[in-house]
Structure 1
Amino acid sequence: MKKLLSITLLLSGFFVFAQKTITEKQIFASMDSQAELFLKATKANSFSIGIVKDGKTYTRHYGEMDKGKGNKANNSTLFEIASITKLFTGTLMAKAVLDGKINLDDDIRKYMTGSYPNLQFNGTPVTIKDLVSLKSGFNKDLPDRSELLKVRNDSTAFKVEKLEKSYTKEQFFKDLKSIKVETMPGTVYNYNNGTLQLTAHILENVYGKSFETLLKENMLIPLQLTHTRLHINQNETVAKGYDGNGGLMPLLPYSLWGAAGYMKSTLADLTTFLKFELDKKNQLVQESQRDLLHNKNYWNAYFWDEVTINHNGRNARKHGGAFGTQNLFWVFPDYNIGISVITNQAGENTYGNLYSAVQNLIDDLKPFGQKLIGREIEKKCFENIDSGIAYYKELKKNKSDSFNFSDESELNNLGYKLMRSGNIISSIKLFQLYVSEFPNSGNPYDSLAEAYFNNKEYALSEQNYRKSLELNPENTNAKEMLLKIEKETGK
């Protein structure tokens, strides 16, 4: 399974390492190195990095916005920030809670216009904290794009664009009456843009102002985010976006309240927003990042992808993906470091490479703490997989405090790098190590099964997909792959 999230606990040795001084030269060297790796791996035209460290900002831009045009991005280039918009929506909801306008444990229908007897599960209503934690239990998104996304091709983005453009608030409220809450609210993660639009409606009701006005008055103006907004001026242009094959993509259309992903911003403004999200003394920041459902190890807070405690201390991550642009916004408060990376590409492997870039940047820039084990053994694994695995075991035996061995994503990501490079046998051996290190997790078996499938070892692939399903019955990928194996083997 390619996108494994880090769910590890804070390590007992996290704060025992001696601090070292990271120089400005080292910061820019790390940025240059990661940009080179990213552009090589993705073939993207452009890559921008913004870092806030100890209150100081560092930015650099690489490549060109449009191939052959020589038009390098700068700190004033407007990008679609897509789902980073959700952090603004979540912060406004956190403010409403702190203002006493909303109670987290209240039924969401208390703040809605109209009657919605369907928004409950066996008599248990969806509460505000379920909504903002992305655990509403709603059975579909609004608008419902599921049919359009079943078969993805070069025209999919344009079909979704057409749907979004024509979708109205009247249709939204009509469709909301057909929503079914299929799981107990607060229990199952469900990334749903419709819940963000509903949040905007609730905010308008409790404050008596438009969502856009609330954004301006409470965030954009106070934080001096002068180039961040829902609607751009006529004389402004937004960076063009491309798919993984270099095809020009449409911009996300304005839809409903724009609360799920319509905002535009610049790297300069995003680094200012990083500073805001790193402020441990700001009550609004702390509220918007806190664990609402008492998950302890990792949580979604107010519309974050994940807030977790691991080898990087407490950290919070949000990914924004448009048709042709992707960005990753990540704060590490225990190190007083924030990182925002943007590219005007949205390909199959763009997110994974953005994730790796940020992980490597924080690995370089943090003054203490455990380092990435996957990064440490990568070179040896590519040269000789058996030597790489032996090196892993040696480090785990002799330097377990120096490297992070508890994060599953380390071996998972390295295994996929090997697979994508064509080293299928090496990836199988790496995933076998992954399984042996995390035998009670479903994801290692899923990844090993995929490697076996790609090597046409269907019996072993089936065996591991079934083990993954045994450990994680919600693994839809395993179910789909087992059907593919049936077709391949004629069972």
Structure 2
Amino acid sequence: MKKSIFVALLFIFNLSFSQNKERRSTEEQIDQYIENVIEINEIPGAALAVIKDGKIIYENYFGKANLEENKAVDKNTAFKIFSTTKLITSVGVFQLIETGKLSLEDPISKYLENLPQEWQETKVKNLLTHSSGLPDIVQFEDISFSLPYTEKISLLAKKPMQFEIGNQYRYNQTNYLFLAKIIEKITGQSFEEYILKNQFPDAKSNAFFLSNFGQITPNGAVRYNYNIENKKYEKNNYNSGPDSHSANGLNITLSEFIKWNKNLDKDVYLKKETKYSMWQPFPFANNTDRFAYGWEIVPVNKILSYGFTGGNETAFRKFTNNDVTIIFLSNGHKYSSLYVQSQVINHVASLVDKTLTDGYLLAGEKINQDFLKLEISASLKNYLAIKKNHPDWNFEYRLNTIGYTLMNNGRLNDAIKVFELNTKENPKSGGAFDSLAESYFNDNQFEIAKQNYEKSLELSPDNSNAKEMLEKIKRQLSKKS
């Protein structure tokens, strides 16, 4: 063998060995990270995939799909993906747009009957972007999921609009109910038939619609809620009915979701130009909100990503410029208000592609984890160290969420300390003082609660909650006198 050929082969071997070693290192880092997340948040079961440059560079399964049967999560486990379903619905809508059967500019009255006059000018684009201003059907106790569709809409039609059409973003389940009905009107098929036929034709039991979380299926992961009083997980029996399938009903295995992403990337479902138009930001009239046509736009280290999350348990995100897609599925976690699924996506992205390392987001995740697993004095110390190095970083919302998480999990004294910290960090925030007052009220420290509600009202004169609570405290104190 000639020396030049030998050197070339040796170079290729060393390059391949180096790449495999780097890949193993990344896989090990992700494994270690996910296992830590599962332990801290006490997640029953989970699955994660990372696709980069069209190749699956990570796919793994963790924990239990069914605690009662001790059934492990594996390739055949179908997770409920909740509102992540909306991504699939959006693709289904754009398939109709691409074939000329539907337009973003079409008024919904073209397809839906018996709508109030003030709904008439709502357009398909407003449904996709949550800019419709329609009353949200899940917000009203008198509109039961079990009612027939026509009765639901008759009741909903009597509710007030939330805002002027197109003005702003406000997440709303009515939007996706109407998108499903529009799809059915145009295709003559049920929503489920249309989606499965056009996006999952060979999926069989790997993708199906079911919004009854209490109904156990052979390969489905059980959805769990953590019972704070019993300190254990319990099956979730919530049933929002077939009408919500377009919003939260898809059950899918990780492997099938990977296939779906591959087809999306290879322009099987949509032409490239149609797909990218789906990811364009909608021009909200308030010039403040940012959301695409059914897809959330998330900046990570100033690099935009597109996707959605569901049930505080699942997430799908594409970093289109970096050719990275991350899919995270789980079936419950103890601290549902801390958006663990989004943190996982952001953290794993940083392990896979260093340009996606966002110091602020990673610091926020560390703050969450510290307050959950460390003594309160240590977590406060760590937080102050982060702020010392980055005084411009604002964590008001995060501290508030952590405070409520601790309070709701029986750590009231620790919650008070976190809320106190938040008022010191944000002395002009009426919301911060309102939360601190609530924690004192729950601790029966009514005088201090009163002082903080008064401070909250001073900073935020329109705070109706503070006004109501001050009246409530007044009644409590009068009982003692």
What interval of TM-score do these two structures reach, taking the shorter chain for normalisation?
0.7 to 0.9
CA distance, structure 2, for counterparts of residue 48 and residue 101 of structure 1: 37
TM-score, normalised by the number of residues in structure 1: 0.72
Following superposition, the deviation at residue 228 of structure 1 comes to 1.6
Give aligned-pair identity as a percent: 20
Is the CA contact 2:278–2:293 (under 8 Å) kept in the aligned structure 1?
Answer: yes
Alignment partner for residue 358 of structure 1, among 342, 345, 353?
Answer: 345
Is the CA contact 1:91–1:284 (under 8 Å) kept in the aligned structure 2?
Answer: no
Partner residue, 2:122:
126
Is the CA contact 1:118–1:178 (under 8 Å) kept in the aligned structure 2?
Answer: no
* TM-superposition CA deviations, 1:397-424 (whole Å, max 9, x none): 7xx8xxxx36765555566677666534
Answer with 1 or 2: which has the greater Rg.
Answer: 2
What's the secondary structure of 1:100's corresponding residue? Answer: coil
CA distance, structure 2, for counterparts of residue 247 and residue 49 of structure 1: 23
Is the CA contact 1:326–1:351 (under 8 Å) kept in the aligned structure 2?
Answer: no
Following superposition, the deviation at residue 307 of structure 1 comes to 1.6
Is the CA contact 1:48–1:62 (under 8 Å) kept in the aligned structure 2?
Answer: yes
CA distance, structure 1, for counterparts of residue 155 and residue 379 of structure 2: 53
Following superposition, the deviation at residue 173 of structure 1 comes to 4.8
Partner residue, 1:486:
471
1:256 aligns with 2:243: yes
1:47 aligns with 2:46: yes
What's the secondary structure of 1:239's corresponding residue? Answer: coil
1:90 aligns with 2:90: yes
Q: Residues 353, 216 of structure 1: CA spacing in aligned structure 2 closer, same or farther, 3 A cutoff?
A: closer
Letter in 1 for 2:453: E
Is the CA contact 2:133–2:163 (under 8 Å) kept in the aligned structure 1?
Answer: yes
Partner residue, 2:314:
327
Following superposition, the deviation at residue 129 of structure 1 comes to 1.8
CA distance, structure 1, for counterparts of residue 248 and residue 264 of structure 2: 19
Q: Residues 296, 240 of structure 1: CA spacing in aligned structure 2 closer, same or farther, 3 A cutoff?
A: same
What's the secondary structure of 1:250's corresponding residue? Answer: coil
CA distance, structure 2, for counterparts of residue 221 and residue 443 of structure 1: 49
Is the CA contact 1:328–1:342 (under 8 Å) kept in the aligned structure 2?
Answer: yes
Is the CA contact 1:86–1:261 (under 8 Å) kept in the aligned structure 2?
Answer: yes
What's the secondary structure of 2:329's corresponding residue? Answer: strand
Alignment partner for residue 141 of structure 2, among 122, 142, 146?
Answer: 146
The structure with the largest helix share of the pair is 2
Partner residue, 1:303:
294
Is the CA contact 2:403–2:415 (under 8 Å) kept in the aligned structure 1?
Answer: no
Following superposition, the deviation at residue 136 of structure 1 comes to 1.9
What's the secondary structure of 1:181's corresponding residue? Answer: coil
Partner residue, 1:435:
426
What's the secondary structure of 1:229's corresponding residue? Answer: strand
Following superposition, the deviation at residue 263 of structure 1 comes to 1.8
Alignment partner for residue 395 of structure 1, among 385, 389, 392?
Answer: 389
1:105 aligns with 2:92: no
Partner residue, 1:187:
167
Following superposition, the deviation at residue 74 of structure 1 comes to 0.7
Q: Residues 110, 285 of structure 1: CA spacing in aligned structure 2 closer, same or farther, 3 A cutoff?
A: same
CA distance, structure 2, for counterparts of residue 65 and residue 468 of structure 1: 47
Matches within 5 A, 1:288-299: 288-294=278-284, 298-299=289-290
Alignment partner for residue 318 of structure 1, among 282, 297, 308?
Answer: 308
Partner residue, 2:207:
228
Of structures 1 and 2, the one with the larger relative CO (CA 8 A, separation 6+) is: 1
CA distance, structure 2, for counterparts of residue 312 and residue 292 of structure 1: 19
* TM-superposition CA deviations, 1:427-473 (whole Å, max 9, x none): 1354145426xx6x776555555556566431453145436745xx6
Following superposition, the deviation at residue 141 of structure 1 comes to 0.3
Following superposition, the deviation at residue 213 of structure 1 comes to 3.5
Is the CA contact 1:373–1:410 (under 8 Å) kept in the aligned structure 2?
Answer: no
Partner residue, 2:16:
none
Is the CA contact 2:65–2:72 (under 8 Å) kept in the aligned structure 1?
Answer: yes
Following superposition, the deviation at residue 109 of structure 1 comes to 0.7
Following superposition, the deviation at residue 186 of structure 1 comes to 1.8
Letter in 2 for 1:352: Y
* TM-superposition CA deviations, 1:264-317 (whole Å, max 9, x none): 11111223344566779833432322212247765332334x323353521234
What's the secondary structure of 2:306's corresponding residue? Answer: strand
Q: Which runs of 5+ in 2 are unaligned?
A: 1-20, 228-232
Q: Residues 189, 292 of structure 1: CA spacing in aligned structure 2 closer, same or farther, 3 A cutoff?
A: closer
Alignment partner for residue 181 of structure 2, among 164, 185, 201?
Answer: 201
CA distance, structure 2, for counterparts of residue 448 and residue 357 of structure 1: 29
* TM-superposition CA deviations, 1:211-251 (whole Å, max 9, x none): 233313432239x797223269x984422222212222226
Partner residue, 1:238:
220
Q: Which runs of 5+ in 1 are unaligned?
A: 1-20, 149-162
Following superposition, the deviation at residue 110 of structure 1 comes to 2.0
CA distance, structure 1, for counterparts of residue 288 and residue 66 of structure 2: 42
Following superposition, the deviation at residue 125 of structure 1 comes to 2.1
Partner residue, 1:423:
414
Partner residue, 2:329:
342
Q: Residues 385, 169 of structure 1: CA spacing in aligned structure 2 closer, same or farther, 3 A cutoff?
A: closer
CA distance, structure 2, for counterparts of residue 205 and residue 115 of structure 1: 14
Is the CA contact 1:412–1:434 (under 8 Å) kept in the aligned structure 2?
Answer: no
Letter in 2 for 1:49: L
Letter in 2 for 1:51: V
Greater mean alpha carbon deviation, residues 195-204 or residues 454-463: 454-463
Following superposition, the deviation at residue 259 of structure 1 comes to 1.6
Letter in 2 for 1:220: F
CA distance, structure 2, for counterparts of residue 63 and residue 69 of structure 1: 12
Query: RMSD of aligned C-alpha atoms?
Result: 4.0
What's the secondary structure of 2:386's corresponding residue? Answer: helix
Letter in 2 for 1:230: F
CA distance, structure 2, for counterparts of residue 344 and residue 328 of structure 1: 12
